[in-house]
Amino acid sequence: MSPALSRVKDLPRCAWPGEDPLYVAYHDEEWGVPEYDDRALFEKLILDGFQAGLSWITILRKRDNFRKAFDDFDPVKIARYDAKKIAALMNDAGIVRNRAKIEGAVKSAQAYLVIMEEGPGFSKLLWSFVDGKPKMNRFRSKGQVPTSTPESIAMSKELVKRGFKFVGPTIVYAFMQATGMVNDHMITCHCHATCGQPKRQRKTSRKAS
């Protein structure tokens, strides 16, 4: 093992990624980093919906396949999926072949387009539930981390009202953790001090036409 890889392995971090290199990289580079891009947030929400009943590492290992199968999570294209496309997805062994979740992604894409066309924009809507900035938690053990919060319950209700599928409070809270709306890295994790900073803030996507 190279000295660089050894240093990465030895860094203090949350326990959940274990030693799986893919999971460790996701933990260190993505999880908890504030995301403000509309399309990227849509992709993550849909993938979290597919995770329901499964582990995130299962979805992470299939993420590239999902991106290829779902047109790089372009909501405009997904919103137009017909029965033929859904049948093709059901035959794609590279993704999770669950008809309800696939059809739910189509419904969610259609709901996303309405938000983008009529306002306020997907990113602004979602971040409004945490007043536009990451909530910094200071947990020291997994047992302290909630599975849902008043904010995730409120976001879930709003998304359901707007037509999104597979967006229950627990799924939404996992989404909030992943996209940096809350910083749930353990206080002892090397990512805790930096992930709550909106260092990757980007301009939100243009409204879909």
**pLDDT surpassing 60 at residue 67:** yes
- What is residue 202's predicted lDDT score, i.e. its pLDDT? 37
Over range 16-20, report the average pLDDT. Answer: 95
- What is residue 80's predicted lDDT score, i.e. its pLDDT? 98
Round to whole Å and give the CA distance between 133 and 124.
11
User: What's at 170, amino acid-wise?
Assistant: T
Domains of the chain: 13-195 (1.10.340.30)
- What is residue 138's predicted lDDT score, i.e. its pLDDT? 96
Over range 39-49, report the average pLDDT. Answer: 98
- What is residue 200's predicted lDDT score, i.e. its pLDDT? 46
3 state SS of 142? helix
Q: Determine whether the annotation assigns residue 195 to a binding site.
A: no
Per the prediction, the chain carries an average pLDDT of: 91
95, 101, 103, 108: CA torsion to nearest 10: -110
209 vs 26: which has the higher pLDDT = 26
Q: Confidence class of residue 3 from pLDDT cuts 50, 70 and 90?
A: very low
Over range 41-57, report the average pLDDT. Answer: 97
Q: Determine whether the annotation assigns residue 191 to a binding site.
A: no
Over range 22-27, report the average pLDDT. Answer: 97
Residue 72 DSSP code? G
- What is residue 108's predicted lDDT score, i.e. its pLDDT? 98
How confident is the model over 114-161, as pLDDT tens digits? 999 998 999 999 999 999 999 999 999 999 999 999 999 999 999 999
- Kindly report the backbone phi and psi dihedral angles of residue 136, in degrees, each rounded to the nearest multiple of 5, phi listed first: -90, 110
Q: Looking up tokens 């799986």, which residue turns up?
A: 20
How confident is the model over 198-208, as pLDDT tens digits? 544 433 343 43
How confident is the model over 187-200, as pLDDT tens digits? 999 999 988 665 44
- What is residue 119's predicted lDDT score, i.e. its pLDDT? 85
**pLDDT surpassing 50 at residue 5:** no
pTM of the complete model: 0.89
Say which residues have a Cβ less than 8 Å from residue 140's Cβ, sequence separation at least 6. 186, 187, 188
**pLDDT surpassing 70 at residue 175:** yes
User: Is the separation of the CB atoms in 163 and 114 below 8 Å?
Assistant: yes
Q: Determine whether the annotation assigns residue 189 to a binding site.
A: yes
How confident is the model over 71-83, as pLDDT tens digits? 999 999 999 999 9
User: Is the separation of the CB atoms in 36 and 198 below 8 Å?
Assistant: yes
